[in-house]
Chains A and B, each alone.
Chain A
């Protein structure tokens, strides 16, 4: 397993994945610095960081995170789709199951690295704007880690689609079709909690329910995120087992 992971990492290293990971913090800086936080909530007595966090997390988690996680999934299958790479990879003494798990684990690691870089960009925005309030570390970690968990099912589906289609555009199109409606879905108290593509936002939205460990109730996390993960991961896993290379 370790050698498959390192092989995947070597292939990925030359796939321009590093600039794409930095897209996360760049978007964070762009949103954080471009928004005009003085008008909203200027006289409210709350921690200054919250104002930045609310508007940064909105755009980042609603559209950027679900979409970019699909790009990682496509990138990790790029070498295999070029000139018979699947055949070469699967001719090695590896099982298809292990290849699938290794690819999935590496994408989740990339998303985690991007989330941590995004955390740094939140901190940088605060420093540049000269916030004097204490940094709400606990809340930020909850949001960063929660957002990462919420991408578990989305990445599984994207990996499935990326193995299925040769082009980048096809899995991305599916991702867009499901991600755009989450703009409406998260506004609905009735349907929002059940929409998997809306979960990154709900998990990162610091205004959510604070009674639980994350910003959404445990039942929702387990059923929607966990259930979606099991469904998409098994679907992709079984598809890859049967795929003709």
Chain B
């Protein structure tokens, strides 16, 4: 059942711009560094001995913002597809359980974001090689800066999908997303328990992997809460 639902959800997002946005996010993040390095490469290379590391940190300064806003946009799009044509009713009237409907939406979004992270890694590497930052390409670090924020942001995805799918008025999830990006931008001052801090990979112990584990754990928890709430509500 879930396979068919996934197929239908992938069909629904065709030609709606979701794939385009999925690619645009990571390309935009790297494009910011293209402008940054394009304008003042010499100055930036002087800042650190470890040119690759410094470049990755620069890229990573925009990644959490792009992820938080990207999640808000994609989840709201996903809900709008059903909201706009009152398709929730028709969808739920099919012989599928509401839990699987929700799971399918979440899975599609998680796949889209995973693609985003992969594009981010490839683009970061390609531009890094183009900049000629040094012969030893830090593959492990590249993967870390692409996929760690992805796993750390799963709770945000679960929360935004929950809000977007239960709110008739999409202004609310979008406003929550704007709050999220303000929190993500001020990660330095946030306490460690705020989920919007996690994609920045900062924490009190200086161990990014803690954010990944917290992200997966709390992500699953928030997903389950959202799914149960979605299943209990009447379809309008």
Q: Contact residues of A with B, CB < 8 Å?
A: 15-17, 20, 23, 27, 30-31, 34-36, 59, 63-64, 67-68, 71, 74-75, 78, 81, 166-170, 172-173, 176-177, 180-181, 183-184, 188
SS of A interface (majority): helix
Encode contact with A along B136-164: 1 for CB under 8 Å, 0 otherwise. Answer: 00000000000000000000000000000
Q: Name the distance in Å between B76's Cβ and chain A's nearest Cβ.
A: 4
**A75 lies within 8 A of B189 (CB):** no
Residues of chain B within 8 A of A169, CB atoms compared: 73-74, 76-77, 80, 170, 174
Q: Contact residues of B with A, CB < 8 Å?
A: 17, 21, 24, 28, 32, 35-36, 39, 62, 65-66, 69, 72-74, 76-77, 80, 84, 169-172, 174-175, 177-179, 181-182, 185-186, 189-190
Chain B residue nearest to A171 in the complex (CB): B174
Residues of chain B within 8 A of A181, CB atoms compared: 28, 32, 35
Q: Which of A23, A30, A78, A167 contacts B175 (CB 8 A)?
A: A23
Residues of chain B within 8 A of A172, CB atoms compared: 72-73, 76, 174, 177
* Given A64-B182, A181-B32, CB of A34 within 8 Å of CB of B190: yes
Residues of chain B within 8 A of A67, CB atoms compared: 178, 181
* Given A15-B171, A71-B175, A176-B69, CB of A168 within 8 Å of CB of B80: yes
**A78 lies within 8 A of B185 (CB):** no
| Count of CB-CB pairs between chains A and B under 8 Å | 96
**B84 lies within 8 A of A71 (CB):** no
How distant is the Cα of A63 from the Cα of B65 in the complex, in angstroms? Answer: 10
**A16 lies within 8 A of B69 (CB):** no
**B189 lies within 8 A of A59 (CB):** no
**B190 lies within 8 A of A71 (CB):** no
Residues of chain B within 8 A of A188, CB atoms compared: 39
How distant is the Cα of A177 from the Cα of B29 in the complex, in angstroms? Answer: 10
**B17 lies within 8 A of A170 (CB):** yes
- List 9 interface pairs A-B (beta carbons < 8 Å), by A numbering: A30-B182, A34-B186, A63-B185, A169-B74, A169-B76, A170-B17, A170-B77, A172-B73, A180-B66
Residues of chain A within 8 A of B35, CB atoms compared: 181, 184
